[in-house]
Amino acid sequence: MMKEQLPPDIARALGAAAGRLGAWSEQVVYRSVVPSTNDVARQLAVAGAAHGTTVLAGAQTAGRGRQGRRWFSAPGAGLYCSVVVRDIETAVVTLAAGVAAAEAVHAATGLPVELKWPNDVMLPARPNRGAAKVGGILTEAARRGGAAEAVIVGVGINVTDVAFPPEIAGRAGSLGAALGAPADRGVVLVELLAALAYWLRMLAAGDVACVLDRWRALAPSCTGAEVEWRVGDAPRRGVTAGIDRDGALLVCSGERVERLVAGEVTWVAAPFGAPQGLATGC
């Protein structure tokens, strides 16, 4: 695949942050259009790409979220990237990436940001404006011959105000719309890579508890929110009671505590107003 030059705004931002990002600033692979950045990053990982290698795209024709859903990836309207993560075997990489994305959005824009289990980056409700999803995380394994080569961390953030498809228009938002002014995707990318590098170092050092504590602080709906889900064809309902060490959502249902690892969860009512002390660290 032919190498493409970074867009000027991305090149400027990465150049200005080279001292801060180190090797990560030099490992960004840009493609103007790809089916999915996760797919390209997986190919690079299997071919030996280093930890921190980042695939960035101007547009995706088959971007996806959890459970194979399409991720709306309009040309030039968002930050669409995937990062190769090596030598970190933990179930909470998705949560660490969510923390990094939330911190990046706040650092780049000043907007209040919350997380919703398992992988949604949200702008909380404000006067005359409902809560809006502005980003999402998708982690997948890169495998060769059945063995895991790396974890691919895909991040999508809606940067520019665009006309979203009708099926998501009621719940999707963008940084530009919330700011009432353009957001700088280069700055968002720099803040994302810096925060992701930090939190991955914490995981590599074995400090899973710190990552989980940070995620909980950014996710008020993980405690005390009414949710619904299904077990087979049977509907269930309960109240969120936090997450466990593996990142599973705990839900009180009657006298039982259910542990939800995957699947669909409908948030019936969720508290908003996460504390916004967003500096990294414990």
Q: What percent of the chain has pLDDT over 70?
A: 86
Tell which CATH architecture fits domain 8-218: 2-Layer Sandwich (3.30)
Question: d(Cα 85, Cα 254) in Å, to the nearest integer?
Answer: 40
Q: End-to-end distance of the chain based on CA atoms, in angstroms?
A: 42
Q: What is the dihedral of CA 67, 112, 201, 146, to 10 degrees?
A: 10
Question: d(Cα 242, Cα 225) in Å, to the nearest integer?
Answer: 10
- Element housing 8 (H / E): helix 8-16
Question: d(Cα 156, Cα 140) in Å, to the nearest integer?
Answer: 14
Domain boundaries, the chain: 8-218, 221-269
- Predicted TM-score of the model (pTM): 0.89
Tokens coding 249 = 């959502």
**Which one, of 222, 183, 6, lies nearest residue 98 by Cα?**
222
**Which one, of 273, 216, 249, lies nearest residue 238 by Cα?**
249
Which pLDDT belongs to residue 276?
38
- Element housing 269 (H / E): strand 266-269
Which pLDDT belongs to residue 1?
52
- Asked if residue 127 has pLDDT above 60, the reply is yes
What pLDDT, in 10s, does the model give residues 25-84?
999 999 999 999 999 999 999 999 999 999 999 998 876 655 556 656 677 778 999 999
CATH T-level fold of 221-269: SH3 type barrels. (2.30.30)
What pLDDT, in 10s, does the model give residues 219-269?
999 999 999 988 888 888 999 999 999 999 999 998 899 999 876 788 885
Tokens coding 79 = 């930050």
Question: d(Cα 225, Cα 268) in Å, to the nearest integer?
Answer: 7
**Which one, of 114, 97, 107, lies nearest residue 203 by Cα?**
97
